[in-house]
């Protein structure tokens, strides 16, 4: 009996979908954090604003990209907390 399970195409597709969903959730959480800081608001307000921006998804993606580009090469001040 093998020590690792055998994966077929269905399992691989499910794993890829899971990775995509985790990546999307991470991006959403980053966007909420950015809104909270930029607007000095709480999580609920940031969620409401993000929901309002949902129809303007391109702008939200641009905003996250701009923040990521500005942070490139800088050390993460929160890295030592984990």
pLDDT at 39: 86
pLDDT at 76: 57
pTM: 0.51
pLDDT at 55: 59
Those residues of the chain that have pLDDT short of 70 are: 1-4, 53-60, 71-82
pLDDT at 20: 87
Helix (H, G, I), strand (E, B) or coil at 47: helix
pLDDT at 51: 74
DSSP string, 11-31: HHHHHHHHHHHHHHHHHHHHH
pLDDT at 82: 46
């Amino acid at each position: 009996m093998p020590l690792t399970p055998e994966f077929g195409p269905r399992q691989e597709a499910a794993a890829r979908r899971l990775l995509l969903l985790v990546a999307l959730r991470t991006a959403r959480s980053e966007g909420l954090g950015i809104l909270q800081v930029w607007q000095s608001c709480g999580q609920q307000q940031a969620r409401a604003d993000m929901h309002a921006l949902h129809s303007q998804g391109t702008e939200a993606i641009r905003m996250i990209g701009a923040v990521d580009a500005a942070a490139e090469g800088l050390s993460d001040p929160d890295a030592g907390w984990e």
